[in-house]
Amino acid sequence: MMRSEAEPHLVRENQPSSALRPIDLRSRDIQENFLQELLERNPAMLPVSRFDESFGPLVSVGREILGIDNLFISPTGRLTVVETKLWRNPQATRHVLAQILDYANRLSSLSVEEFQQRCTGANQSRVSEANDLYALVSDAFPEETPREPEFIDRLQKNLATGRFLLLVVGDGIREGLESILGSLHHQSRLHFTFGLVELKLYRMPTETGDLLVVPNVVAHSTEIERAVVTIRGAQPEQVEVTVSADPGEKAPKLTESEFLEGIQHPEVRQFGERLFKWGRRRGWIEITSKGDSASIRIPFSTARAGLILIRLYRNGNVLTTPPKLRQALRRSGVGEEDVVALARDLQKLVPELRIDPDKERVARVISAKQLLPQLDAMLAVYDEAIAKFSDLDPGNDNPIDEPDDEME
């Protein structure tokens, strides 16, 4: 039986319900700039947290910057690229992927200075010489935005590594979904996340022109994967698309919310929530494809995936000095002794933390419940360590790739 969707109803107390009339985005009366304007005014309607919470909250940078329909940025310097598409033309999907990947490649070739210049020079940009990119973001979210040097550094790292969220947003997915997901295999140089978002719009029964907007994530690839696409239905209006992972490939990674929801013990979940909030401000959060652990990473030029500062397992165990931290610094020729110093500083706060300076991991696994009472003080110690590592960063232009799911 094929899935079908009925019209939503507005229910008011002591009044008959009112069916909400859908807006047909395929109508010639609706132009693609309608969606662009809608998203620019209301960026929160994009469900970026379903992909990766570090891409939100969204601040609109503007429209038609480098030809991009809508460009957004987060307080962590993460860019979201949106290509709006009304699927009137069945062949439109043949071009949309190439277009959005071209935007990602163009962005990844820019420095922060060049990016700011492109934003300032665009006609529909919210960035100007009087209101630069940092001012735009910090005015919108002052508490979430780090200091300007840190913001600029993160933005530069994200540009260089291509850590973008690429969203195709429109009225529905027609043909070409298989080729869209399959072609992602050839873009391994960039560390982007790709998503397809469908918007359903309904007119409210008022004279003010109010709308109900229902966003729906049709497909996403937090980790680039193959997909098996099954298409059923002879007529375009009857087509049903089912997307399932190729059994020979990795499953999509969990989102941050899904990871935390999977933690059974309340104290461990609280530890994770506070750790993630701090981690988004300092760097980014990486969840393994198995979903068994998450790490806080910070930018470092000799490690493309960044330095792993701390790893939390869903069973409640914590590695306060993961082996990869020491290994990455050893390869860089700097800072290895600072890992031992970090472990000793943490041990002063949590005496139960056992350390061995001769081991790769330095500090042994410990329970998050034991660390929770001293978490704020621990994060202050990590802040000091981050400052040291940042000062030691050699600025290598040939970073080393590491598998994210290597056992520690």
Name the DSSP class of 400.
B
Residue 150: pLDDT over 90: no
Residue 208: pLDDT over 50: yes
pLDDT tens-digit readout, 258-317: 888 889 899 999 999 999 999 988 888 888 878 889 999 988 876 666 789 999 999 999
Find the range with the poorest average confidence among 12-16, 52-56, 292-296, 351-355.
Answer: 12-16
Q: What is the pLDDT of residue 231?
A: 33
Please tell me whether the peptide bond between 57 and the residue prior to it is cis, using omega within 30 degrees of 0.
yes
Predicted confidence band at 380 (pLDDT cuts at 50, 70, 90)?
Answer: very high
E strand map for 239-359: 240-245, 284-287, 293-300, 303-313, 317-319
Residues 329/391, Cβ–Cβ less than 8 Å? no
Residues 202/210, Cβ–Cβ less than 8 Å? no
More confident residue, 405 or 354: 354
Residue 182: pLDDT over 60: no
pLDDT tens-digit readout, 215-272: 888 765 544 333 333 333 333 343 343 434 444 444 456 778 888 888 989 999 999 9
CB atoms under 10 Å from CB of 96, counted, come to: 18
Rounded to a whole number of angstroms, the CA Rg of the chain reads 23
Residue 233 zone, left/alpha/beta (φ > 0; ψ -120 to 50; rest): left
- Evaluated on CA atoms 199, 203, 209, 214, the torsion sign reads negative
Beta bridge partners of 294: 287, 312
Interval 164-173 mean pLDDT: 80
pLDDT tens-digit readout, 63-119: 999 999 999 999 989 999 999 877 655 555 557 777 888 898 899 999 999 999 999
Q: What is the pLDDT of residue 12?
A: 75
Q: Which two tokens stand for residue 109?
A: 């070739």
pTM, rounded to two decimals:
0.61
Residues 180/170, Cβ–Cβ less than 8 Å? no
Average pLDDT, the chain: 79
* 311: CB partners within 8 A, 6+ apart: 293, 294, 295, 296, 318, 319, 322, 408
